[in-house]
Structure 1
Amino acid sequence: MNWIRHKSRSVFFKIFLSFLAIILLFGLFYMVIFQLFKNSFQKEIIDTNQRAIHDTTERFTNQFSRLQVLMFDIYNQSNLIGFNNQLRHQAGYNVNYLKAREVMIQMRSDIYNPLFFLEDTLIYFREHNFVLSKSGSSDASYMFNRSYTSPMYPYSFWNSYEGEQESFTLLPADTYQISNELTEKKLMPYVYRQPDSPYEVIGLIDIDKAAQSFFGESDDRAFAILNAKGKVLYALGSLNQEELPSFEAGQKAVLKDGTYYLMETGAEGLTYVSAVPYSHVSSQLNRLTGGLLLIFCLSLGVALAASYFFSRRLHKPVKQILTTVLNRASNSPVPDTGSITEYDLIQNRIQELFREKEEIRDRMNKHKSVLTSYSYISQLKSINMDISEWEDFLSDDGSFIVVLYHIRFRMNPVYELPLHTDQAVRHMLEHIHLITAERYPGSHTFQIEKNEIVSIFKREEATHLEELLQEIRDVLNEEKELFLVTIAISSQVSDSSEFNQAYHQVKGLTAQAQLLEESQIVTKQRVLPTTVNLSPSQEKGLLDALQAGSEDRCLQIIDQALEAMQRKEAGIAQFRFFADSVAAKIMGYLEMAQIDKNALHSLKQWSTRIAECHCLSDYQGVFRQLIEASCALIRKKKDTGEEPLIAMFMKIIHNQYAEDLSLDYLSAKLNLSSAYLSVYIKEKTGLNFSDHLLGIRMNKAKELLACTDLTVNEISQRVGYLNITSFNRTFKKAAGMTPGAYRRQHVVQTHASSS
């Protein structure tokens, strides 16, 4: 019992007991919180899925509202109305098909808008068996039996389709075979047709993409859209008409056959149903329970181990102090006991330690310690005397010359460097110092940067300096397979205050050095080539080759440019500038082509290796790796559809037609030259930049004249014309009549068609 009572008063026991009490308290608190959380977690999962179907319903409702506005605008386009009137009242060869082309151009801008999730928009002239689409016009039977083929919606269906009483009708989704893309997609037709109308607008919605965007992707959840009659229009996942339960009035969640069915009704009368298996809910609950229990057990184990560890660590130093004190004063009287045994013993010995300290201090004040004196002398001797020599050197009135050794380690050495680069530079420093100090004792050599060594010579001593540097260069050239050194010599400097100027001078000389595969000496500035960029034809050829994924052609252009710079004896800095510029153009094109970001990140690692290139073969090797990887990504991306440059161009002019757009602005935004961009647009689209911009502005002006009450002056400003005279002249040239006459004609045609 005495042993137990003695141990219970120790530091270790009391600290460890305190830790255990805290662990127990937090463990109980954790268990209570866990039980409460577990009870409410299942309900939270159901509420989360209910909110998800509610959000999905709102998104689809807004999406169908946007499509209704879009289809209404297409249906009432002035060009479409005029084209329909010509079809009805004129012979085929008298019909102005340019109006149909304007309609298709306007449709494309809407179809390519990712917010609408449209695969295509079809304008079906049933009386004339004629269809307009984003890709052109065709016979209706060809369009519905070949271009967009569906078992549910063949040509016979659309030929006999009468529609519902409503203007907008959403039909069930079906799988379409798209001949232009040689792919299959699930599309949902959305039909807008007025009673007794000669044509109808059919929007083909990419419903899978819309559902994945609004509802999300999940392996175990399902989703369905039902019309007002309860018929399934679209289903995502394994969900069919027979599995759906019946919902009572006001009921939004039903558990049937181990599956939660969550329902939400949209404003347009459609019903949206989400099916979540109960196993999905229970699996999340089980994962949470198992994870939290595992965390709790691990936390408990870590807490116990940490408690024992920290208790031992607090106890051990105290025990050591006690051992030391007891060994030094074993005959000291035992102090009164307190609450902790160890601290009581320390308190009993503290006075003795103070007395010993006072005795030692008195002895030190009375006697000089030989050991202390020796220590002070040793410290004085350790001061670096080279600093004073350097100060004497700079304070001398004589002139001097600065020599810079710029060291560049090869990217792919013939054999492995036996030392680390820092150690190799240090060895070179010692070697150069030995050679220069032996020939010129008054010189100084030191390392100024990670890969730079500087030697300073008195002018009167450096009479044969170039001979010495030739010897050093020959020695360094023996290791040219491992590193290359550029030795630059400054002009004579008359005062130490000009050292910084001399240093920058030799730095500039090293940048002008030629790209040779050997060490070299540079003594003066030279005339460098004026241009170190790709010529316009080379830039066009490089971008064309990149677009085609032709790595051989890309490398041929870059190699020709590098070899030309080599022949012109371009400087090292110019090679670096050229390589960085070409790499930036390549990366810019890949970003414009919307290459995957992870792939771009790996390519940037190659472009950053340009900083490690120190000879022509290094640059050629890095560009080969960069071009091969880039062309592989471009070839992989090439089959995905429209040219990325044209897509970006069309997006800019459709969104910014009202601004002061110019070819120079677009070329700067797309990182291309104006001449190349102009030729590229004409080649790919058949129209030049100004024709595209004029067409968009005139179409928008016609739309505003036909559908709004804005004045002609206001319309001219909205479509990018600050001068109304210029707008009137341009509009009359494009439409054959003034804006006012066009508005009056449209009013007359509208009244005529309605009557």
Structure 2
Amino acid sequence: MSTLLDIKEKSRSLFNKLLFSFLVIILLFTTFNFVSYAFFRNNLYDEIIRYNTLNLNHTVDNYENHLHLLQTTLLSELFSTSAIALESSRDQPSYSTVVDLNNELRVMMGNEPLFLDNVIVQFQNLKIAVDKNGSHQSADLFDKYYESQLYTKEFWRAEALKPFSFQLYPAAEFSQKKVFDPSPGQQQLLPIMVKKSGSSNTTILAFLDASKALKKFHQSINSNFLILDSSGKVIYNVGDTSLLDNLPDFSKSDSLFIKHEKNLYFYKASPESGLIYVNIVPEQSISQQTTQMNVILISLLVIAIIISVGTSIFFSMKFNNPLKRIVQSVTELNASAPPTFQIREFNIISQRLAQLAQSDRNAKADLSHKDSLLQYYSFINKIKNIQTHSDVPQEEKPDMLEKPFVMTAFQLTYKEDFEGVTEFGKDKASYYVKEFIQMTMLKEYENSLTFQMEQDMILTLIFADPVLDERIQQTLLHIKQVLDLDNQYIFLTIAVSDVYPESANFTAAYEQSLERLQKRKLNEETQIIAPSTTAETPIHHWGFTSLEDQDFMVHLHAGNAAQTITLVHRALDRMQKNEATAHACIDFAQEIVSKVNKTLITLQLDMQPAADSPSPGEQIRSCYTHEQFKEFLSGYLSLSAELIQKKKEGYDPITKFMTEYMESHIGEDLSLDILADKLKVSAAYLSAYFKDKTGINFIDYLNDLRIRKAKEMLLGSDAKIQDIAVSVGYQSVNSFIRMFKRSTGMSPGEFRKSSLTGS
């Protein structure tokens, strides 16, 4: 029996419990690893398949995005000013135009991520070609420079006559002949031809460095990679060339890979270019990877179990021994003479326990002398709506909590001159102001309490039975007169709450004081907002009218700084005439900044402020006069309009042609297909190109243009609405009215009427 009791007692020791806990955790960890290993082993093959599939998808995305980028870049060059000028030449080409085109090609070749070895622009009418090195005779181009047995000058002459705009050709070895180099080097390049659809006069040949592109776009542990065209013809290949003799038919399978002759062929066909990308992985390689992974996982699991058991025993002992000593030292602790130990940590614990006991005695001894401090924090907790967790009984709290009171809020505003003249900071200045207010209030109201909530916020509680409004007003006027002596640097907004009967209304009084602070008018003087001065004022519409808001957005999108500033100044003048509060002016300024920021984001612009300059929000909050609001908003709108104007002035021949054509044919049937046909490009490409250059969809731009022209005709003529609808391209007056109302919020007739009445 005694042996069983000893075993039971030992099992309750901290060491055994710690060791047992560690072993349970190790068991759970081991079980989890076994389950994970079994699951991973069964799914390893699938994971390898998934990895290769995802890797090929990544490769396809890289190649397709790059080909799309090359198509866009080369087509842009085809429509460049210098290329169009040379294409139109019938006699000897202009030397300066050739130099301009050569410089443009040099800039393009300087863009290393394009992986281009060279770009050649051929002009059949002039029988010349221009590349990064200058101009050449078209007849000698492929004899002296890019020589290939597969691609001769007769081949390229025939390709130029075919009806396409973009064509990728199989990779081939090209050699560049030089006078002083009898053995020119070979380089594998992917040729690309770009030309206007239906036109063979001007063509662009681009040579893509196949090895650099492969290194960037295809990251795989396998070296066998193919690119086929839609007919199965090899465009580019690396790795074992013997695999090309017996490729499977990828068109007869719907899976992500094909098993064929001990190899896995992972493939994906691009719907855009029609190319088929193939990554060939030997099936034996996957089996080897699976076996190696199994060995590694089992080895790691065995090592982890051994280390875990040893670590568990070690840490159990390290935890148990110090805790035994700590328990012993605590039981022997004497407050008057704390015990000492050879271990430094135990001495620290013993000393800290003695200090805590002494601090507890001191706190109890001083508790009776802290009534005023308790009262102070009680009121702070009341105002902040914080539950008081005090050990003081309710009946011992100050009687004034149940008296009527008035709350007075003082909000400080520091002017710009404060930082450059005063010797101390805002925190110290706020403290001095708080001390002055507290001294003045205590002189008039013996039981008043003054405390600083924030750097710029001071609160005073005045208790009286009854409260005399005239007396409070006189006291506040005295404070104002004294602080007005420093009006060059600081001014206050003073808000007085109503009389509240008891402390349960502290939250309501605090919220009312903050609400009255927001009724401050715009000026640089200290203002007192008392209950007698806060009568209900008529509700005005601050800011823009509906029509002004529409005009503002139109001029903002057009980058017209003067018109936007005029509209803002007009609204601010109206707010000043109607005595709008400072809070209303701040809201209006923040609304303007928000509209500008949204417009800049839409146009993909970013107005970066200086590193040491305050944010727009901070600048708005530092404005306290109408002139300061005007100055800030004028500067902000000028900078924004300048950015927008620069964006609009960026020359692009395609978008310029499109916008000018729409302007001059606004009354005709306009569509993306019509413009695409005139530019000899596809409608899908032109839509994406226009959105990329302008930041707006083609149809949205066309609708905005028609509504803008309609507004001009409604304001500048007496024409009938039906005639105006036809003039701007709407064959149905109902469609015109519906689109106009969707854009402006009112019908054309209402718009014309509101403009005439000025409402």
* TM tier, smaller: 0.3 to 0.5
TM-score normalized with structure 1 length: 0.46
TM-score normalized with structure 2 length: 0.46
